[in-house]
Structure 1
Amino acid sequence: MSLAESAGTDHVCVVQLTDSHLFGGDSADLLGLDTLDSLNSVIDLVLGEIARMDLVLATGDITQDGSEDAYRRFIAASLRLPAPCHWIPGNHDDAALMQRLGAAAGMSRDWADIGNWRLVLLDSSVSGSVAGHLDERQLQRLDDAVATAGERHLLVCLHHHPVDIGCDWMQPIGLQNAEALFQRLYGQTAVKALLWGHVHQEFDDLRQGLRLLATPSTCVQFAAHSDDFATDTLAPGYRWLRLYDDGRIETEVSRLPPGSYLPDPGATGY
């Protein structure tokens, strides 16, 4: 069944864009890749594939340089999509600036209710740190979101990965207090999945009944199962999720054509 044929009244459709790493200037690039151009190409792909979308999630590293111009570029790009967009910061972002700009644009929220679902938006960024941490305010936000959700199912979103994804070099730069997160989630049958960015690759696993999902970047891709930093030749992409009224989730990653937006092959970091 195609996405166009799947439109119905028993689910909502969410599009995840992540790790766009935009710059404020025109001449900057990430590992030789024009990140604004690749983001817009991924948005073109979304527009060509998704018949109906209800919400867009941008899960961090919106910018590479933390500049206001870069955030405004993302906002302009997101307005091409016919659905509200909400964002959360990543380690490359300026969380305070994102909050200010996002409040004015309606993009910064503690959570969003859509259909029979509540999407909880957590800030795992720590100023000056590549690794992530959920402070007490964020953990309280999660507690409040769960306690007041009523009959809704929950999808919890953050930037940093809370589990080992099989890349040794990324293990130290994930969520540093992941157990505090899982202690709150295990046994909460209304919480169906965790969704994140940061890792620039696809990930889909199950842990004690909780779906664990990560999504490719709209720009540079990282190689899966790598011991040291390594890019991949897979194309940029996005994730779509159908969130059904009964709590089921259908989701896939979609990518641009093979060979699109390849980074410098000799890159050793970014």
Structure 2
Amino acid sequence: MPNVSTLTTEDPVLLVQLTDSHLFADADGSLLGLNTAQSLQRVIERVRAEQPQIDLLLATGDLTQDGSVAAYQRFRQLTEPLSANARWIPGNHDAWPSMLEATVQSRLLEQVVDIGNWRITLLRSNVYKKSHGYLDDTELQLLVNSLSEAPDRHHLIALHHHPVEVGCEWIESIGLHNANAFWGVLERFPQVKALLWGHIHQPFDQQQKGVRLLASPSTCVQFTPASRDFSVSSEAPGYRWLRLQPDGTLDTGVSRVDNFVFEPDYSANNY
């Protein structure tokens, strides 16, 4: 598995995660009253200001809301100024055939990346026309192979759906439905250091069985933490950065755009 950069195993690796952008074919498309393309543009401007040298950009699902080729092409166009190697995985709102068409002759959908002293494995947890996630046998075997083939590297696993409860009652049922099988694989490989996901539109940072568990804000609307029912907050969109150290530790943080004013329009509930 070739490296995507010239980093050595002694170098730290800077990752940037963009997630849940929910773009439309129409550049004026909005979600709950928020123009998602404009929101993503503002987040990207913040990334450019704060992260001048990105080693790998991870887009962890729901890049689009309508699953159109035009929306994926817009995502590529908007993220191009970041000048970063990138990898995408689908979320529950994505359309796999359109993703394939929009990424032809690129490496955007490759699922295993060696970079620095780390291996990043990206899993496809989306289920056709369903909100919840599931890792089929092909994905679980890919995970086993990726972990087995690089025992001396530190590993970060990325997927769209949450594999643990996150404290929002309404969202728990649309997480990863075979999380036990997923964790059963991870427990066999102590080199797994971190899990990273999207889907929940809010930050999450905990530890479980020695693994760092991380989720991030959406680049568009945010879900209200600890909510019992579906609820969107007026909090600003943002992104997560991760600095992966050669010794297997990591530093990470969330950054949000400034001067953001938004009140969700539930009458336009097209989520």
Normalised by the length of structure 1, the TM-score is 0.93
| Structure 2: distance between partners of 1:209 and 1:232 | 31
Question: 2:33–2:268: 8 Å Cα contact kept in structure 1?
Answer: no
Report the more deviating stretch, 210-219 or 147-156: 147-156
The whole-number CA distance in structure 1 between the counterparts of 2:203 and 2:61 is: 15
1:61-140 matches, within 5 Å, as: 61-140=62-141
Distance 1:133 1:215, change over 3 A: same
Partners of 1:165 and 1:152 lie apart in 2 by: 28
Question: 1:259: which partner in 2?
Answer: 260
| One-letter amino acid of the structure 2 residue matched with residue 46 of structure 1 | V
Farther off after superposition, 21-30 or 222-231: 21-30
Amino acid at match of 2:211: L
Read off the aligned partner of 1:71 and give its amino acid letter.
Y
CA 1:187–1:137: 2 relative to 1, 3 Å = closer
* Change in 2 beyond 3 A, CA 1:51/1:28: closer
CA shift in 2, pair 1:204/1:258, >3 Å: farther
What CA distance in whole angstroms lies between the structure 2 residues aligned with 1:54 and 1:110? 16
Partner residue, 1:56: 57
Range that drifts further, 20-29 or 198-207? 20-29
Give RMSD over aligned pairs: 1.5
Letter in 2 for 1:116: N
Return the alpha-carbon distance in structure 1 between the equivalents of residues 223 and 32 of structure 2.
Answer: 12
Question: Offset of 1:189 from its aligned partner?
Answer: 1.6
Q: Is the 8 A contact 1:219 1:261 kept in 2?
A: no
1:229–1:269 CA contact under 8 A, matched in 2: no
**Cα distance in structure 2, aligned partners of 1:17 and 1:48:** 15
- Structure 1, unpaired ranges of 5+: 1-8
How far apart, CA to CA, are the structure 2 residues paired with 1:83 and 1:28?
26
Shift in CA distance, 262/106, structure 1 to aligned 2, threshold 3 Å: farther
Match of residue 37 from structure 1: 38
- Which residue of the partner structure matches residue 208 of structure 2? 207
Q: Would you say 1:192 and 2:193 are equivalent positions?
A: yes
Query: 1:24/1:267 Cα in 2 relative to 1: closer, same or farther (>3 Å)?
Result: closer
Q: How do 1:217-232 and structure 2 match up within 5 A? A: 217-232=218-233
Unmatched 5+ residue regions in structure 2?
1-9
Following the alignment from structure 1 to structure 2, what is the Cα–Cα distance between the partners of residues 181 and 103?
A: 29
Residue type of the alignment partner of 2:35: D
Q: Distance between the aligned counterparts of 1:258 and 1:267, measured in 2? A: 23
Q: What is the alpha-carbon distance in structure 1 between the residues aligned to residue 234 and residue 34 of structure 2? A: 12
C-alpha distance in 1, partners of 2:260/2:27? 23
Q: How many residues align?
A: 262
Specify the code of the residue in structure 1 equivalent to 2:57: V
The residue type equivalent to 1:240 in the other structure is W
Within-5 A mapping of 1:137-152: 137-152=138-153
Alpha-carbon offset, residue 102 of structure 1: 2.6
Which digits, 9 at most, give the CA deviation of each residue in 1:22-66, with x for residues without a partner?
Answer: 000134210111100110110000000013210000000000000
What is the distance in 1 between the residues matched to 2:60 and 2:79? 13
In 2, the alpha carbon distance for the partners of 1:15 and 1:45 equals: 12
Give the percent of matched residue pairs that are identical in Structure 1 and Structure 2: 50
Q: Relative to 1, partners in 2 of residues 1:262 and 1:238: Cα closer, same or farther, differing over 3 Å?
A: farther
Q: 1:99-146: CA deviations, max 9, x gaps?
A: 343342320112111111111010000001000100001001101100
Q: Secondary structure at the match of 2:15?
A: strand
Q: Which residue of 1 aligns with 2:245?
A: 244
Residue 267 and residue 210 in structure 1: after superposition, are their counterparts in 2 closer, same or farther (change >3 A)? farther
Q: CA deviation at 1:97?
A: 2.4
CA distance in 2, matches of 1:31, 1:128: 20
